[in-house]
Amino acid sequence: MDMMRALIVAGDGLKAQAARMRLISENIANADSTSETAGGDPYRRKIPVFRAVLDNELGATSVKVSSVRRDNSAFETRIDPGNPAADAQGVVKYPNVNSLVEQMDMREAQRSYEANLNIITATRRMITRTIDILRA
């Protein structure tokens, strides 16, 4: 049962980190977008919110993405009166996405994903070896 618990918890970790990487990819893809209307707000950075979930049946705690919230930090502004997204003063709002921060978050999510994948691989090897021992 402990090996099953490890597989389920690591699988939940994989799902959570995959969701995190999808949000980071979306943030990076929209880093230079502007509003479709003059003076409107552009894309707002999205942040996953994780929560620990206790599975009473397994007796283990795993992680899930409970929600996605929007980063309420200020937009970057530039003066560009010729831009269709510019307001009456010629100011254009750009997303509050910092590509460097997103790249660091992506690397952290990748490492967490790899760690969970390594747990699944090691657990699978242990199960295989246990079966081999029982066959002998």
Please, which pLDDT band fits residue 2 given cuts at 50, 70 and 90? confident
Is residue 55's pLDDT more than 90? no
In a domain, 119, yes or no: yes
The proportion of the chain whose per-residue pLDDT surpasses 70, expressed as a percent, equals 99
Q: Are 63 and 13 in contact (CB under 8 A)?
A: yes
d(CA 48, CA 67): 6
Residue-wise pLDDT tens digits, 72-105: 999 999 999 989 999 999 999 999 999 999 999 9
What range does the domain containing 50 cover? 2-37+44-73+98-135
Q: Quickly tell me which residue has 């090996």 as its tokens.
A: 3
Q: Are 92 and 33 in contact (CB under 8 A)?
A: no
The average confidence (pLDDT) of the chain is: 93
d(CA 113, CA 12): 10
Q: What share of the chain is helix, strand, coil (3-state, %, to 5)?
A: 50, 20, 30
Determine the average pLDDT of the residues in 8-27. Answer: 96
In a domain, 129, yes or no: yes
Is residue 1's pLDDT more than 60? no
In a domain, 83, yes or no: no
Is residue 30's pLDDT more than 90? yes
In a domain, 106, yes or no: yes
In a domain, 33, yes or no: yes
